[in-house]
Amino acid sequence: MSELKKKTENGSVDGAEDATSNEQKAGGDSGVGMGVLFFIAAFAVCFLSGWLLFPSLLYSKKEQPFNFNHALHVEQTSGCESCHYFREDGSFAGVPKNSSCMECHESQLGDTKDEEIFMTEYVEKGIEVPWYIYSKQPDCVFFSHSAHVVGAKMDCVTCHGHIGESESLKPYQENRITGYSRDIWGESIWGIKKNPWDRMKMDDCAQCHQEETGSKGACFQCHK
């Protein structure tokens, strides 16, 4: 008699039913247990590699040409605006060019290695420093510094964080697919945002605009 037939026969007989079905359950449980275990293990491997390994694959790390001590410069000058200034037409200078630096650094002022690199490799050779810009937005984005800093009287810190207090530059991380800086998506791959400067995506702009002005604005307000 085949096993299947035996089971059906037993199943129809009331007296023997309990014993057989218990036996069946035990065998089935161990199979399910293995399956669950395998699922959990595989899930953990995939999950961790997705969240921990993938970001390091997605972003390439690039070191800045030389280190820059923001804290030191802020101390010596009157604040962010002395180097990151507005031009007369209302446009924003962004990262300063050599000519701005040389208003102070005509000759070497300190004795750091970094300043020496700046003087010998860039000033003397007349080459602009190819800084990687952490907060560079895609080219379809229009951002008006004057609207935010002059118009809305916002602090630099609100979007850029406490970079003015840093003594060294972190490595620049570039998204290998889009070519955008990691600071746009944010350091947290989970998308968790604790401070307003943690992320610089469109949703973050829109969120603040919604709160402060009551509207996200039309597309062309921030696009070009």
Partner 1 sequence: MTQDNHGKHYKFGMVIDLDKCTGCGSCMVACMSENNVPFKEDETNKKDSINWMKVFKLTNGKPFPNTDVCYMPRPCMQCGGKGEHGHSPCISVCPATATDYGYDTGIVSQIYTRCFGCRYCMGACPYHARYFNWWDPKWPDGMESYLSPNVSPRMRGVVEKCSFCYHRYQIARDKAYYEERRDTIEEGEYQTACTQACPAGAITFGDLNNPEHEVYKLVKPDPHQCGKPRNPKAFRLLERLQTNPKVYYISEREWVRKAGDNYRDGEWEKKA
Asked whether position 90 contacts partner 1 by CB under 8 A, the answer is: yes
Q: How many CB atoms lie within 10 A of CB 120?
A: 11
With tokens 């040409």, the residue in question is: 65
Instruction: Report how far residue 27's alpha carbon sits from residue 55's, in angstroms, rounded to the nearest whole number.
Output: 42
Asked whether position 89 contacts partner 1 by CB under 8 A, the answer is: yes
Q: What would the 3-class secondary structure string for 142-210 be?
A: CCCHHHHHHHCCCCHHHHHCCHHHCCCCCCEEEECCCCCEHHHHCCCCCCCCCCCCCCCCHHHHHHHHH
Pair of tokens at residue 15: 């007296």
CB of 129 to partner 1, least distance (A): 19
Element of type H or E holding 59: strand 59-62
Asked whether position 142 contacts partner 1 by CB under 8 A, the answer is: yes
Smaller CB distance to partner 1: residue 162 or 223? 223
* Rg (alpha carbons) of the chain, rounded to whole number: 30
* 66 contacts 79 by C-beta, under 8 angstroms: no
Counting residues that bind partner 1 (by CB under 8 A) gives 24
CB of 209 to partner 1, least distance (A): 7
Smaller CB distance to partner 1: residue 126 or 214? 214
Smaller CB distance to partner 1: residue 153 or 194? 153
Asked whether position 112 contacts partner 1 by CB under 8 A, the answer is: no
Smaller CB distance to partner 1: residue 144 or 166? 144
Instruction: Compose the 195-224 pattern: x for residues touching partner 1 by CB under 8 A, - for all others.
Output: --------------x---xxx-xxxxx-xx
Asked whether position 179 contacts partner 1 by CB under 8 A, the answer is: no
Which residues contact partner 1 by CB under 8 A? 86, 89-91, 138-140, 142, 144, 146-147, 150-151, 209, 213-215, 217-221, 223-224
